């Protein structure tokens, strides 16, 4: 086996188990444990152990290094554990947005157990904190698992405010450098994407630059709307109609709708 091939990435099955353990620990009433007899403390200890092992594997895979990165792993996992209460608080606000925003929701527990929007958002919020801690690979594995299960594709690098609402959600795409304010509602098929890719002198896409739009507070974006570009800003209180295609900024308080001839701003 070559040197290049003897380093293995994190185990996707174990990352999924970590997700399930974290959700059961944060919301034990709504998410079943693999072992119902396990105490809260035992569950967190098992989940933490799995997380440390997979973070260590991810770092070794990235660096192609045999030396075990115990200190880097410890710093990431300790910091992440300290952020879990804040993640839970954010998710409870997301539940509230979904419950209050959907007349079909009969209880907050129904939102947590049944709604694909909450499933995708909850995994995104966990992955986002690991992304901020510069954890290799694992944040993407987490959000791609949510993508696979729900059809909702949120890059872990996106920045999303409080009371986030995704209804139905299938086909929703949110790019890495997107920023989303508070009390934002998205419906199925919405794309917050890149207009084009800046190329370097060798013709390769330039990475780590602003490519995706900024969405203000109290914005509603209806089904199959597409908003593209790193310099595109949607102001507070805007309503973006279904099937709209936008590559330019929209001032606060605007309503943008689509007709068969052209996009019109009212």
* DSSP H stretches of helix in 133-203: 138-150
pLDDT at 13 over 70: yes
Q: Treating both helix axes as pointing N-terminal to C-terminal, what angle do 70-101 and 12-26 enclose, rounded to 10 degrees?
A: 60
What confidence score (pLDDT) does residue 212 get? 97
Q: 260: pLDDT confidence band, cut at 50, 70 and 90?
A: low
pLDDT at 2 over 50: no
Domain 9-151 annotated CATH 3.30.2350.10: no
* Annotated domain spans of the chain: 9-151, 158-266
Q: Which fold has domain 158-266?
A: UDP N-Acetylglucosamine Acyltransferase; domain 1 (2.160.10)
What global pTM score does this model have? 0.92
The count of other CB atoms within 10 Å of the CB of residue 43 is 18
């Amino acid at each position: 086996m070559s040197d290049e091939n003897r380093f293995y990435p994190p185990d996707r099955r174990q990352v999924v188990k970590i997700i399930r353990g974290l959700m059961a620990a944060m919301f034990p009433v709504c998410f079943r444990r693999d072992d119902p007899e396990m105490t809260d403390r035992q569950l967190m200890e098992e989940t933490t152990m799995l997380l440390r092992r997979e973070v260590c594997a991810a770092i070794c895979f990235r660096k192609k290094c045999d030396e075990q990165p115990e200190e880097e792993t410890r710093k990431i996992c300790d910091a992440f554990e300290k952020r879990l209460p804040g993640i839970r608080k954010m998710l409870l606000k997301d539940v509230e947005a979904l419950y209050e925003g959907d007349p079909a929701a009969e209880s907050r527990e129904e939102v947590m157990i049944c709604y694909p929007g909450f499933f995708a958002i909850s995994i995104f919020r966990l992955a986002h904190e690991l992304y901020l801690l510069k954890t290799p690979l694992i944040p993407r594995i987490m959000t791609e698992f949510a993508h696979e299960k729900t059809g909702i594709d949120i890059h872990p690098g996106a920045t999303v405010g409080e009371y986030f609402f995704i209804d139905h959600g299938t086909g929703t795409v949110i790019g890495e450098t997107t920023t989303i304010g508070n009390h934002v509602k998205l419906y199925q098929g919405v794309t917050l994407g890149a207009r084009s890719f800046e190329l370097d002198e060798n013709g390769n896409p330039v990475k780590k630059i602003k490519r995706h739009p900024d969405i203000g507070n109290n914005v509603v974006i209806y089904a199959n709307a597409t908003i593209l570009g790193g310099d595109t800003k949607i102001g507070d209180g805007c309503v973006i109609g279904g099937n709209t295609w936008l590559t330019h900024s929209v001032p606060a308080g605007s309503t943008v709708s689509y007709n068969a001839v052209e996009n019109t701003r009212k």
